[in-house]
Amino acid sequence: MKQFLQHRAATLPTIGAVVIFVAMIAYGEIAYGRILQFSTLSNLLINNAHLVILAVGLTFVIVTGGIDLSVGAVIAFTSVTGVLLANAGWNPWLVMVLMVVIGGAFGLASGILVEYFGVQPFIATLAMMFLARGLASTLSTNPERLADDSPIRLIAAEWKLVDGPKVNDLILTPGVLIAAIVVLGAWFVLHRTRLGRTVYAIGGSEPSALLMGLPVWRTKVWVYVISGTLAGVAAVVYTARLGIAQNITGIGWELDAIAAVVIGGTLLTGGVGYVAGSVVGALVLGLMIVLITRDGKIPPEMTTIITGGIVLVFVLLQRGLSVVRRNP
């Protein structure tokens, strides 16, 4: 058993997240009903696609042992920029590409600060967070509405796959599909490319990775670029769904995404973690909101308290496992 724990300790928190997710669905189904059905699950995916994308991006950064606090603010800036440009008559497809590129540029800036100027990731991305938030506010402080007929909204177009009775439909959107592609792509990069393995090696021991001759600097810049780029993608998906962009969009989302990553079993100290875990973590957070809404008696203010509790439980679980690992 102990040996099993040592060999599998890396996957246990992720398995734990899956167990919790299933337990939450089961509890919801028994206590409130209508959870385990097409419409609820479709909405869960549609409403949380942007969070899943953000969490995937942060998984890269956190596995290297870094952190990216700027993603929420990057979403605000890119979505306000995108909506303003689209409304000004720019080609909407070009606008979407531009949103993603701007996100990547913020990530590149963070990465360069971290790697070439030796700034702590926390501080570098905090600076980027204030910068992006401030830039968004200089563009506009009002909610900017996207024209209803803008092609950007196609990203949120609903494809009814199964037309169930009593509006119990299985619905997908291109946004959900994008999230799925991002997840698959991230899995491929992390587990089947040298870039991905270097990400893990850096998280395990950066000095060792350097001495092994791995491209540490380049890789560390890349993870911030990936995180920023995916923030841009998340901005496209979210803006398309809501149809509104505002400078206060995405406040605290970086923390939601970090929470999702941690719940999914990624160690904040780096080196251990899975994309699949982060996806489940994001869905756990989304499902929690659904359950609280359904319950009706839990005040919505409790949401953050419960989130905090879940994160704490998972961090303690990881502590326990790392103690087992260290003392064979």
Partner 1 sequence: MTEPVVEMRGISIEFPGVKALDGVDFRLFPGEVHSLMGENGAGKSTLIKALTGVYPIDAGEIRIAGEIRRLNGTADARNAGIATVYQEVNLCANLSIGENVMLGQEPRSALGIRWKALHAAAHAALERLGLGALDPRAPLSSLSLAVQQLVAIARAVQRESKVLILDEPTSSLDANEVANLFRVIRRLRDEGVAILFVSHFLDQVYAISDRMTILRNGRYEGEFLTKDLDRTALISTMIGKDADALRSIAARRARHDGEPQVVLSATDLGRKGSIAPTDVDLHRGEVVGLAGLLGSGRTELARLLYGADRADTGSIIRAGKRADLRSPRAAMRSRIAYSSENRRDEGIIRDLTVRENLILGLQTKRGWARPIPRREQDELVQKYIGELGIRPADPERPIKQLSGGNQQKVLLGRWLATQPEILILDEPTRGIDIGAKAEIQGAVAALAERGVTVVFISSELEEVVRLSDRILVLKDRRKIAELVNGEHVTADTIVAVIAEDAATAHEETEA
Q: Count the residues in the chain.
A: 328
* Minimum CB distance to partner 1 smaller for 261 or for 285: 261
Amino acid at 257: A
CB of 187 to partner 1, least distance (A): 10
CB of 326 to partner 1, least distance (A): 8
CB of 205 to partner 1, least distance (A): 5
For residue 51, which of 230, 246, 186, 311 has the smallest C-alpha distance?
A: 230
Q: Residue 211 corresponds to which tokens in the numbers above?
A: 């001495």
* Minimum CB distance to partner 1 smaller for 139 or for 195: 195
CB of 212 to partner 1, least distance (A): 6
Q: How far is CA 238 from CA 60, 135, 174, in A?
A: 21, 19, 11
Q: Residue 121 corresponds to which tokens in the numbers above?
A: 């990731």
Other Cβ atoms less than 10 A from the Cβ of 28: the count is 20
* Minimum CB distance to partner 1 smaller for 165 or for 328: 328
CB of 211 to partner 1, least distance (A): 5
CB of 114 to partner 1, least distance (A): 20
CB of 133 to partner 1, least distance (A): 34
Which residue shows structure tokens 């080196």? Answer: 271
If you write DSSP's letter for every residue of 97-137 in order, what string do you get? HHHHHHHHHHHHHHHHHHHHS---HHHHHHHHHHHHHHHHH
* Minimum CB distance to partner 1 smaller for 72 or for 271: 271
Contact yes or no for 62/223 (Cβ under 8 A): no
Q: Residue 3 is inside which H or E element, if any?
A: helix 2-8
Amino acid at 247: N
* Minimum CB distance to partner 1 smaller for 3 or for 296: 3
Q: Residue 171 is inside which H or E element, if any?
A: strand 170-172
Which residue shows structure tokens 């803006």? Answer: 239
* Minimum CB distance to partner 1 smaller for 71 or for 199: 199
Any idea what DSSP says for residue 63?
H
* Minimum CB distance to partner 1 smaller for 6 or for 140: 6
Torsion of CA 64, 66, 72, 74, to 10 degrees: -80
Which residue shows structure tokens 């001495």? Answer: 211
* Minimum CB distance to partner 1 smaller for 38 or for 200: 200
Q: Which residues bind partner 1 (CB under 8 A)?
A: 3, 6-7, 10, 188, 191-194, 197-198, 200-201, 203-205, 207-209, 211-214, 271-272, 325, 328
CB of 275 to partner 1, least distance (A): 14
Q: Measure the CA–CA gap between 259 and 114, rounded to whole angstroms.
A: 22
